[in-house]
Structure 1
Amino acid sequence: MRQTSNMRLFVVLVVMVFEQLMVLTSAQSRCDPLTQYDHAGQCCTRCPPGTKMSSQSSCSNPQCTECGPHEYQDQYTTESQCKVQPYCDPNKNMEDSQPASKKKLSTCSCLMGFHCSSGECVTCVPHTTCKPGQHAKSIGNHSRDTVCESCPEGSFSTSTSWNSVCAKWTECTSGYQVREKGTHVSDIVCEKTPRHQGGLIAAAVVFGSALFVFLLACFLCRAGDTKQRAKGCLESCRGDREKLPRAPSPMLFTQVDETESDPEPRLSQEDEDMKMPEENLEEEREELLSEGVLSENGQFVTQERGKDSIQPQQETQVQTSMD
């Protein structure tokens, strides 16, 4: 009897649990899981995002109010309180990354020129500053720091900044020349090209050429100086006592009428025959000196008959003219 009673009780319990499961399953299948909720087998409406539900709300027509300042609700809810937005502390170089919204969570970002000190971004630190002669290879943002490198050849930078850039050297235009070369921290300095620079170069070339010719002439003159002086001395001792012609001075030169001037006389055959080679003049002079015909200063002397003393030819001519 007891076994029969226990068996009946077990069957009743199983039936009751099954019926309850059927009721819950049927109720859940009728309600929208996003916008509704089940209350005593009845589908009730939730409050939309950005709002909260009043405690006096009914199942079919709830009383929903908007979230307050710095609050948000990002889904349909039956809660009577909104969630609190995070506080972006300006003392930590932070700010709201976007306008405040009551329907989604706002995030904080670092002020311009700063980046997060860690992955949690609880505070922001300044970007690295690039020194003069450098530029920002990679400009920093909210999550990463600035990376600096030296300016490439042909450019320069004078600023100290986290977003510094390099500027190209100035190119000197026509009529200008480089006075100072550019560096990584300074630009090229141009100046006007002097107009007389070309004239100075030409004058220097002309002066150098003239100096070379002058030195060459001096060298050749010194090489032939001894021979020229010996030639002039021997020609002065010739019997006709001809003097070497001298170049007329430009200050004493006077213009002569070519129609009235006589043509230059030509030497006779006898005078031509009297000329002797220059190499024989020195021998002739030594012979005349030994015979007493030629004085030591190069003058011819004559000896009168009946006189033992020899007088220079110049004195003899003077006496003859006086007689």
Structure 2
Amino acid sequence: NRVYRYCTAFTNTTCKPCADSTYTDEPNGRSKCISCTVCDMGTGLREKTPCTRISNTVCEPLEGFCCIDEERGSCRQAVEHTKCKPGQYIKQKGTAVSDVECAVCTDGTYSNGSLQICQQHTKCEDLGLEEKVPGTNSFDVECRRKTQVAVIPGLLAAVALIVVVAGVLFIKIRRNKSSVRGGTANNTRLSDNQTKERSTDGEKT
């Protein structure tokens, strides 16, 4: 209520109920009621308990916010919970009255900042793969198939073997041809000599 008419020597004080969106929460001599608090979403607040003629609005933090200024059970200002960075995990969740607590992942584990427990790095060898990119406390290990690397040396070895075999065969063929040509030439010379000898014997006779 508020004072409508103050008392006089002949009359008592007259009161009237507070209008909508106003209140008084204790006996007073006010001629005007107090305006109800508006919970501003822009400051991270929402209404918990609506205002009445005898009590003010009670505000509370929005989801994901925590109160940093409280008065008489009502939050006057709130801030958004801290977001953990990549490489950190959420050690303690935030509440309406406390912020998030972050902690750094240990070696061999990682988190993108939204996890409550750091994840173990993938072991590529357990999957029949090999490590392509090492893991950090922010990212997992990147794996790749072993065949992607092993095939190349295998192909090179096969090509080298084919070249060697082809070279050996080529040399053998060249040698065989040379031997055949040499034998043919010797036979031709022998035949010519025999012909000459026969001609000489015929002349002598």
* TM-score of Structure 1 vs Structure 2, range by shorter chain: 0.3 to 0.5
The TM-score, its normalising length taken from structure 2, stands at: 0.46
Max radius of gyration: which structure?
Answer: 1
Bigger RCO of structures 1 and 2 (CA < 8 A, at least 6 apart): 2
